[in-house]
Structure 1
Amino acid sequence: MSIFEKAIHDATATIESLRPLQSVHEQAAEVVGRCLLSGHKLLVCGNGGSAADAADFATEFACRFVSDRRPYPALNLAACGSLLTAIGNDYGYDEVFARQVRAFGQRDDVFVAISTSGNSKSIISAIAAANIAGLHTIALLGRDGGRARGLAQMELIVPTDITARIQEAHKFLLHTLCEIVEARFILPKQEAR
């Protein structure tokens, strides 16, 4: 089997492995939808490739996903280089997201953490800060969930050891979450006006 064929095989198997997550995924979509419709916001973060996924997810709400509709407040906590480097320098990298959660998060906002390993100290600290501040917490993790497993109120754990396949599955979960939120919460609300 070629590398390309193996990648297709592994990606397909990974996506199929997500079926048991449907109930938690639906619950996460409901929490996000209710959050945005009630005037609250999303705070999203990740490191490396997961930071890029966080940026995309936040953009889908602050700009648009499929339909033309009003923007909703969603912040990518990995976006501001000066803030990240200031916090990293003054408080240590473990605090780069947690400090922002404490600065921007309010009770009933939603915090979404993305980590392929679940072992990033910056993600673990941020989930803890979000829980303390009364935010709804959702973690997208990989492998066995790592040290972050059990910390968030809702977890979507992709059960594979291949980082690329975990990231692809996270992207799928995030995009389908956007689809559900738009279809069930945002667009019906717009049509009702």
Structure 2
Amino acid sequence: MKNEIQNELDGHIQSINHLSEITDEIANASQLCIDILNSGGKILLFGNGGSAADAQHIAAELVGRFKLKRKGLPAIALTTDTSALTSIGNDFGFNHIFDRQIEALAVDKDVVIGISTSGNSQNVINALQVASNLSCKTIGLTGINGGIMNEICDIAIKVPSNNTPRIQEMHILVGHIICHLIDQNFTIL
């Protein structure tokens, strides 16, 4: 058991070390979020499964507080309204649970962040395409190849791994880095 634990820890550390390959993308996404928030826009986040939890986690850090005392920032996880999710899923299908919410809630001064380890989750792709059509800025958090998200996002943060658990672990680290950089750019109360 100890060997397995060490192997998992070693894999995590290797994944962290590979994030240095994508610091430009993380910085660009952070600056985009800062610019959107400074211009009165909001951040909308979504994904499936563990990525849904990451969307909620990041939104909570922005609305509440990450590290520093600052005003609450407008961020919405589109994964939390069970009535909307189930009614949209029932009436339009699972592939539209996010794009209908983007259509209803997003405006052209917002940034939309889709999270998918493969980059090919159809409901995430649909929402990113609707966001683009609304002239929102789009960020994708995905794995090494980026999938379709690599082609349709303004900024694709492709974690250099094809191992789903490692990608998910790095997504929350990237989310925390973005939150940290946002914190640095807003007045402390």
TM-score normalized by the length of structure 1: 0.94
* Stretch moving more, 53-62 or 153-162: 153-162
Query: After the TM superposition, which segments of 4 or more aligned residues of structure 1 sit over 3 Å from their partners?
Result: none
The answer to whether the 8 A contact 2:149-2:156 is kept is: no
Matched, 1:172 2:167: no
Residues 35-88 of structure 1 show CA distances to partners (whole Å, capped at 9, x for unaligned) of 112211010001000000000100111111111211111000001001000011
Give the distance between the partners of 1:26 and 1:159, measured in 2 at CA: 16
Matched, 1:162 2:146: no
Amino acid at match of 1:109: D
- Report the counterpart of residue 63 of structure 2 in structure 1: 62
Give the distance between the partners of 1:108 and 1:20, measured in 2 at CA: 29
- Report the counterpart of residue 10 of structure 1 in structure 2: 11
- Report the counterpart of residue 145 of structure 2 in structure 1: 144
Give the distance between the partners of 1:110 and 1:181, measured in 2 at CA: 14
Amino acid at match of 1:95: H
Residues 120-155 of structure 1 show CA distances to partners (whole Å, capped at 9, x for unaligned) of 100110110111001110000014112322110001
Amino acid at match of 1:89: N
Q: Shift of the alpha carbon at 1:159?
A: 2.1
- Report the counterpart of residue 27 of structure 1 in structure 2: 28
Give the distance between the partners of 2:132 and 2:147, measured in 1 at CA: 18
Match of 1:44, SS state, is: strand
- The gaps in structure 1 that reach 5 residues or longer are none
Match of 2:12, SS state, is: helix
Give the distance between the partners of 1:25 and 1:163, measured in 2 at CA: 19
Q: Shift of the alpha carbon at 1:158?
A: 1.1
- Report the counterpart of residue 108 of structure 1 in structure 2: 109
Residues 75-125 of structure 1 show CA distances to partners (whole Å, capped at 9, x for unaligned) of 000010010000111111111101111100000201001111111100110
Residues 137-182 of structure 1 show CA distances to partners (whole Å, capped at 9, x for unaligned) of 0000014112322110001111212211111100110000111111
Q: Percent identity?
A: 35
Match of 1:20, SS state, is: helix
- Report the counterpart of residue 154 of structure 2 in structure 1: 153
* Stretch moving more, 103-112 or 156-165: 156-165
Give the distance between the partners of 1:50 and 1:112, measured in 2 at CA: 11
- The gaps in structure 2 that reach 5 residues or longer are none
Give the distance between the partners of 1:90 and 1:74, measured in 2 at CA: 26
- Report the counterpart of residue 94 of structure 1 in structure 2: 95
TM-score normalized by the length of structure 2: 0.96
Matched, 1:50 2:60: no
Aligned length: 188
Provide the aligned C-alpha RMSD in A. 1.3
